[in-house]
Amino acid sequence: MEDEKIRQIVVPGEEIKTGKDLKSGHGTYEENNKIYSKFLGIPQEFGSFISVIPLSGPYLPKVGDKVIGIVTDVEKAGWIVDIKCPWQAFLPLSEAVDEFIDIKKVNLNRYFEPDDIIYSEVIDTRRGDVHLTMRSQMSRKLKEGVIVEITPSKVPRLIGKDGSMINMIKDKTKTTIRVGQNGIVWISGEDIDKAIKAIKLIEEKSHIYGLTNEIEKLLS
């Protein structure tokens, strides 16, 4: 569209801003009071912090991340979960079930089995091992619905400020949506197709100003 305004995009090593009071945030580094980008991405300012949201790249899990994963295997003491990152994630039995389980007598498939979709939280990433928990408030097995994958770095744009963008999509399409910080989105409800179109448009045009208005038009 002719009236679309593209957000500033920086490349690795490019100077973003100069100032003694500036602080280096995610995706940046500081040298001689100058902030430089580590990634190809979009710079953002939060108070005195300068960050860069990368335009591409794999999901790298952090403790506290809410993720959507697919159970791929059942082991003696838990479940292997694919969260679309360079490493497999593990959901320990102790982080999934409150009651005592005699693993010699109980088949863990009664709780989670291959192809189940779960919304969980990352609790450990040490030594390259990614451990999950189902003990956080929003964690649950996601039944029915469909999943869509987007670039993980586009998740903040999909959610919007204080959840404004994702809530608009949910309200207009009468859907329930869960967004994982690993770029997996689960959708259930009435107009799933229109919700998917909106999500994919946000991923495609995340670097454009005026995106909210364009999504509103699509959903109206």
Show me where the domains of the chain are located: 5-54, 66-142, 146-219
Q: Which among 203, 187, 196, 185 has a CA at the least distance from the CA of 218? A: 196
Per-residue pLDDT of the chain (220 residues; tens, 9 = 90+): 334 455 678 888 999 988 888 888 878 999 888 999 988 888 888 778 888 877 777 888 999 999 999 999 999 889 999 999 988 899 999 999 887 777 777 788 889 999 999 999 999 998 778 999 999 989 999 999 999 999 998 898 899 989 999 999 999 999 999 999 999 999 999 999 999 999 999 998 887 778 899 999 999 8
pLDDT the model gives residue 133? 97
Q: 3-state class of 3 per DSSP?
A: coil
Q: 3-state class of 49 per DSSP?
A: strand
The Cα–Cα gap between 187 and 150 comes to 13
Q: What's the CATH superfamily of 66-142?
A: Nucleic acid-binding proteins (2.40.50.140)
Q: What is the largest CA-CA distance in the chain?
A: 66
Q: Are 177 and 170 in contact (CB under 8 A)?
A: yes
pLDDT the model gives residue 3? 44
Examine domains 5-54 and 146-219 and report if their fold is the same: no
Q: Which CATH architecture has domain 5-54?
A: Beta Barrel (2.40)
CATH 1.10.3720.10 fits 146-219, yes or no: no
Q: Tally the residues of the chain.
A: 220
Residues 6+ apart with CB under 8 A from 63: 122, 123, 124, 125
pLDDT the model gives residue 1? 39
